[in-house]
Amino acid sequence: MKLGKKTQERLYLAFCYTIILIGVIAVLYPTVWIVGSALNPNNSLFSSRIIPEGASLDNFRELLTHDEYPYLRWYWNTLKIASLNAIFSVVLTAGCAYAFSKFKFWGRKYGMITFLVIQMFPALMALVAIYVVLNMLGLLNTHTGLLLVYVGGAVPFSTWLLKGYFDTIPNSLSESALIDGASSFRIFWSIMLPLAKPMLAVVAMFQFVNPFNDFILANIILTSPSQRTLAVGLFNMVSNQFANDWTLFSAGAVLAGIPMMILFLSLQKYFVHGLSGAVKG
């Protein structure tokens, strides 16, 4: 039996809503579950209810005042590294991407190919080399050493993103500004950067989130407890078989997500436009 056009449209719409609903549940359930675990007064991740009986904020209070776990110190370390990583990555890659996009020079093509090839190799392959170099420079167990690794790894990927966006900006704008007597730096600062705000926001968000998510590099480079980031610190809270503070871990994970949520909500108006511009480029 052949279905009518309206029936087909309704079935298609119902199918789309079903897929969206499944996706929303898949994303929200782990979040609600970890929040429920943080509110659990017992030292267990499992409960018969999503929001456990006797839910309280005791885990958050204990986490912020715990003698063994300097959580606030880890929080500050991560915020500092994430903020500096976002700032330096945006500054370096904006100039680099603009040069690759708008200027003609020898090695331009091979430079972009090199950046692309570098992205094909995961950072873990260079882990030993990174450790040796930082040890030679005396930067092991320092935030400076970890920040250099993050920023260096961000340049190739972010440059490709920003170059694609700069390519969508008409050259006629810079040519008109040159005729009016504007310098190359003035064109870059006053015209190109304001137009590239959506993609700059995307790059900043990616690089801000990275130190919150990274565990392996931070765990190898930072060895003392006071220097740790949140990912390493939270792991050490549950790695001891004699003291698995799972509910404290959950509370710490919930608090760790707050800066990223605030930044995402603040910059969300730029994301769709920025990523669509990079795809077009």
Structural domain contains residue 179: yes
Task: Give yes or no for a contact between 38 and 250, defined as CB atoms under 8 angstroms apart.
Answer: yes
Both 106 and 209 in one domain: the answer is yes
Both 26 and 107 in one domain: the answer is no
In which residue ranges of the chain is pLDDT below 50? 274, 277-281
Please tell me the predicted confidence (pLDDT) of residue 191: 86
- Domain hosting residue 91, numbered range: 66-280
Structural domain contains residue 73: yes
Structural domain contains residue 61: no
Both 247 and 182 in one domain: the answer is yes
Both 182 and 205 in one domain: the answer is yes
Last residue of a domain, one of 37, 56, 75: 56
Q: Taking the complete model, does pTM exceed 0.75, yes or no?
A: yes
User: Residue 203 is encoded by which pair of tokens?
Assistant: 């790059």
Both 159 and 246 in one domain: the answer is yes
Both 122 and 236 in one domain: the answer is yes
HSE-CB of 209 using CA atoms within 13 angstroms: 12
Both 26 and 157 in one domain: the answer is no
Structural domain contains residue 268: yes
Alpha-carbon distance of 233 to 256, in angstroms, equals 11
Alpha-carbon distance of 79 to 211, in angstroms, equals 8
Environment class of 152 (CB within 10 Å of its CB; exposed 0-12, middle 13-18, buried 19+): middle
Both 174 and 43 in one domain: the answer is no
pLDDT digit string, tens, across residues 252-279: 999 998 998 888 888 877 766 545 544 4
User: Phi and psi at residue 237, in whole multiples of 5°?
Assistant: -70, -25
CATH of the domain at 82: 1.10.3720.10
Please tell me the predicted confidence (pLDDT) of residue 207: 92
**Domains in the chain, number:** 2
Both 253 and 114 in one domain: the answer is yes
Alpha-carbon distance of 36 to 56, in angstroms, equals 10
Both 74 and 201 in one domain: the answer is yes
Alpha-carbon distance of 194 to 185, in angstroms, equals 13
Both 146 and 16 in one domain: the answer is no
Please tell me the predicted confidence (pLDDT) of residue 34: 85
Both 41 and 74 in one domain: the answer is no
Structural domain contains residue 212: yes
Alpha-carbon distance of 248 to 246, in angstroms, equals 5
Torsion of CA 178, 181, 186, 191, to 10 degrees: -50
Which residues contact residue 8 at a Cβ distance below 8 angstroms, ignoring those fewer than 6 apart? none
